[in-house]
């Protein structure tokens, strides 16, 4: 950005000032562009460390602020995705676990109902057989009551007979004793 003085007869002072300004502007430009990434380093005094060449890939370049922000966004998105995947995996695990328990419960219930159905069928068959046999049960109970009543009646008759024999025997003995006394 060197300006050349116009050929319109400018004085030497003006030309010197113009050159100084151009040199100062040039130094400012070199100082400003040296800090920008992607520009070659400018020679500076010995107190400052020169910037590394951006073309060399010996060491990884630290991203700028926008790169850091992008990295943070990317990290957050990855973490969110991993979290969603973990939630999905957890839901799938819970579903598998509970479905296995439900299947086992269903199998047990089916087996119990099968047993209950067979037991109910057997119970119904036995109930029908009991209903068919009910008259026989009634007859047996009647016969048992009749036998018991006959036995009770026989016992009562025997008891009456024994009492009567005792009465007759006491009276008979008393009559024998009187006849025996008379005969003496």
Q: Residue 40 is inside which H or E element, if any?
A: none
Contacts of 19 (CB under 8 A, 6+ apart): none
Q: Which residues contact residue 104 at a Cβ distance below 8 angstroms, ignoring those fewer than 6 apart?
A: none
Nearest Cα residue to 44 out of 20, 19, 27: 27
With 0.75 as the threshold, say if the pTM is over it. no
- Give the DSSP letter of residue 116: H
Q: In angstroms, rounded to a whole number, what is the distance separating the alpha carbons of residues 30 and 41?
A: 9
Residue-by-residue pLDDT tens, the chain, 184 positions: 444 555 555 555 555 555 555 555 555 445 544 455 555 555 555 567 777 666 666 566 665 567 788 888 899 999 999 999 999 999 999 999 999 999 999 999 999 999 999 999 999 999 999 999 999 999 999 999 999 999 999 999 999 999 999 888 876 666 566 656 665 5
- DSSP, collapsed to helix, strand or coil, labels residue 5 as coil
In the chain, the largest separation of any two C-alpha atoms, in whole Å, equals 212
């Amino acid at each position: 950005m060197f300006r050349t003085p116009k050929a319109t007869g400018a004085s030497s002072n003006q030309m010197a000032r113009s050159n100084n300004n151009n040199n100062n502007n040039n130094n400012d430009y070199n100082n400003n562009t040296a800090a920008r990434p992607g520009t070659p380093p400018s020679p500076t005094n010995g107190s400052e460390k020169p910037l590394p060449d951006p073309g060399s890939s010996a060491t990884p370049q630290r991203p700028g602020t926008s790169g850091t922000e992008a990295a943070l966004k990317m990290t957050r998105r990855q973490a969110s995705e991993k979290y969603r995947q973990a939630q999905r995996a957890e839901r799938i695990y819970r579903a598998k676990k509970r479905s296995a328990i439900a299947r086992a419960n269903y199998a047990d219930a089916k087996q119990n109902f099968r047993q209950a159905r067979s037991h109910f069928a057997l119970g119904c068959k036995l109930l029908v057989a009991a209903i068919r046999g009910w008259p026989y049960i009634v007859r047996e109970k009647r016969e048992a009551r009749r036998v018991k009543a006959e036995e009770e009646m026989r016992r009562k008759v025997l008891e009456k007979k024994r009492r009567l024999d005792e009465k007759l025997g006491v009276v008979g003995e008393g009559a024998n004793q009187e006849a025996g006394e008379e005969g003496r």
